[in-house]
């Protein structure tokens, strides 16, 4: 992974030295909005901006704190070194997983902006064509057995590789236009020694997200038998 200093307080990360025309302006939503290159926006904790630049379709995401701390500090993090930043750690992990051939979106670039002991960050990834989250899919209709099994098998691939996901939920599991399954958002994720305890904690968190969305959405096609099918495929793939 290539680190480039754009200014004394700006550090750009890219997968390799061939960064092309990527500049700090790439990390400004206003830059893309002014050129009418933003073709979609998705809101959650924060807004993700989908933009088109030449042949590249990408997603720009700013780092925001969650929970009670986020109400006070919002997007500010304590700076203790570039490799300790959440931006660097997520981007490095994504580069590693992408190179391994795991189904993650391609990392394009990330930026750390430092001001004294405080830093803020942004990350750009390649957009999946025709992407739809698992949550969106379940609002539209039920999943067939084949799709449920593929989700379980995909999650087992990550766990067998020792990939811990800090926020595994149904909004962080995507389908692309070819119906392939991807996992996104590896903020605070890491590679660990494979172990049943944290693996099951990951899956329990996913189960809670199904239950949470089922209680929030007026239409949500999810049943207990679907979870059992997904978990059976997960366990089988994890074993073999």
- Judged against a pLDDT cut of 90, whether residue 99 lies above it is answered with yes
Band of residue 70 on the pLDDT scale cut at 50, 70, 90: very low
Look at residue 24 in the predicted model and tell me its pLDDT: 94
How far is residue 138's CA from residue 213's CA, in Å, rounded to a whole number? 10
Q: Looking at 62-66, 96-100, 108-112, which range is the least confident one?
A: 62-66
CATH topology of domain 132-239: Transferase(Phosphotransferase); domain 1 (1.10.510)
DSSP per position, 191-233: E----HHHHHHHHHHHHHHHHHHHHH-SS----HHHHHHHHHH
Q: In this structure, what are the phi and psi dihedrals at residue 38, rounded to the nearest 5 degrees?
A: -85, 115
pLDDT digits (tens, 9 = 90+) for 178-225: 999 999 999 999 999 999 999 999 999 999 999 999 999 999 999 999
Where are the chain's structural domains? 2-126, 132-239
Name the catalytic one among 84, 167, 195, 226: 167
> Which residue has better confidence, 54 or 191?
191
- Judged against a pLDDT cut of 70, whether residue 20 lies above it is answered with no
> Which residue has better confidence, 164 or 45?
164
How far is residue 139's CA from residue 106's CA, in Å, rounded to a whole number? 27
- Judged against a pLDDT cut of 90, whether residue 19 lies above it is answered with no
| Residue keyed to tokens 């809670």 | 208
- Known catalytic residue at 167: yes
């Amino acid at each position: 992974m290539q680190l480039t200093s754009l200014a004394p307080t700006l550090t750009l990360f890219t997968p390799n030295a061939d960064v092309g025309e990527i500049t700090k302006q790439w990390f400004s939503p206003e830059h893309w909005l002014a050129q009418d290159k933003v073709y979609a926006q998705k809101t959650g904790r924060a807004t993700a901006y989908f933009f088109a630049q030449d042949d590249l379709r990408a997603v720009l995401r700013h780092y925001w704190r969650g929970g009670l701390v986020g109400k006070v500090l919002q997007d500010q993090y304590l700076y203790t070194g570039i490799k300790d930043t959440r931006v660097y750690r997520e981007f490095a992990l994504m580069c590693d997983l992408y190179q391994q051939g795991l189904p993650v979106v391609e990392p394009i670039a990330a930026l750390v902006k430092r001001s004294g002991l405080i830093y803020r960050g942004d990350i750009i990834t390649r957009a999946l064509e025709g992407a739809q989250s698992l949550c969106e899919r379940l609002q539209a209709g039920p999943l067939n057995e084949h799709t449920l099994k593929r989700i379980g098998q995909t999650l087992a691939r990550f766990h067998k590789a020792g990939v811990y996901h800090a926020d595994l939920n149904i909004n962080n599991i995507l389908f692309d236009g070819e119906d392939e399954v991807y996992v996104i958002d590896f903020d605070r994720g890491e590679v660990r020694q494979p172990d049943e305890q944290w693996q099951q904690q990951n899956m329990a968190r996913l189960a809670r997200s199904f239950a949470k969305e089922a209680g929030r959405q007026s239409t949500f096609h999810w049943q207990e038998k679907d979870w059992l099918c997904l978990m059976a495929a997960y366990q089988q793939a994890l074993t073999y």
